[in-house]
Amino acid sequence: MNAAEAQSDAPLSADSDAAAVLRILIARGETLATAEFLTGGMIGARLTSVSGASAVYVGGVIAYASRLKRTLTQVSAPTLEHFGPVSTHTAAEMAAGVAELCGADWGLAVTGVAGPDPQDGHPVGQVFVAVADRGASAPARVREFALSGTRADIRAQTATQALHLMKAVLSEDGPAPLE
């Protein structure tokens, strides 16, 4: 098998999704910002590992402490009080908030529980990924995932799912999860 065949048979990866996201954003002349909780910067690292990322990736926020979700990603106090830091609503507000804060066209956010212990009634592996289009009147698109494995596995899977969702939304293919 030659290199081209090996590449075409390779499974979908976060790195290929990162490159695809950046390629689409460059073609559109749009920008992206990220808000990360459990991944602690993994999504930003994957994006910036691709040459040319600086053309469209403006930066991100690592809001590991719940109080920073409110102050840095503009999640409302009522959302945090009613739904908590791990929820669809929080993820959606994080995505919209980081886009606004960074002046980006798109916001990509993740929140969830990597483990090893459950958090506030949420099981290990429960993750929410949100994509917000700052210029759209529609709410952020949010997906919930039930991931498994070690803490490191869940963090890596979250980053992969986030980039996959971002690519799907940009490609208008819908928010299909990785198989």
Report how many domains make up the chain.
1
| Domain-embedded: residue 83 | yes
Residue type, 101: L
| Domain-embedded: residue 149 | yes
Q: What span, in angstroms and rounded, lies between the C-alpha atoms of 142 and 12?
A: 21
| Domain-embedded: residue 5 | no
pLDDT at 65: 86
Half-sphere exposure of 71 (CA within 13 A, CB side): 6
| Domain-embedded: residue 70 | yes
Beta bridge partners of 133: 106
Q: How confident is the model at residue 25 (pLDDT cuts 50, 70, 90)?
A: very high
Instruction: Tell me which residue range forms the domain holding 115.
Output: 13-171
Q: How confident is the model at residue 57 (pLDDT cuts 50, 70, 90)?
A: very high
Which region holds residue 84: left if phi is over 0, alpha if psi is between -120 and 50, else beta? left
Q: How far is CA 105 from CA 71, 101, 134, 157, in A?
A: 20, 11, 5, 25
pLDDT single digits (tens) 125-169? 999 999 999 988 888 999 999 999 999 999 999 999 999 999 999
| Domain-embedded: residue 179 | no
Q: How confident is the model at residue 14 (pLDDT cuts 50, 70, 90)?
A: low
| Domain-embedded: residue 3 | no
Q: What span, in angstroms and rounded, lies between the C-alpha atoms of 169 and 64?
A: 25
Q: Where are the beta strands (DSSP E) in the chain?
A: 32-36, 57-62, 106-112, 126-133, 141-146
Q: How confident is the model at residue 115 (pLDDT cuts 50, 70, 90)?
A: very high
Q: The domain spanning residue 23 has which CATH number? A: 3.90.950.20
Q: How far is CA 160 from CA 45, 164, 165, 166, in A?
A: 12, 6, 9, 10
| Domain-embedded: residue 114 | yes
Q: Give the pair of three-digit tokens for residue 28.
A: 């559109």
Read off the pTM: 0.88
| Domain-embedded: residue 108 | yes
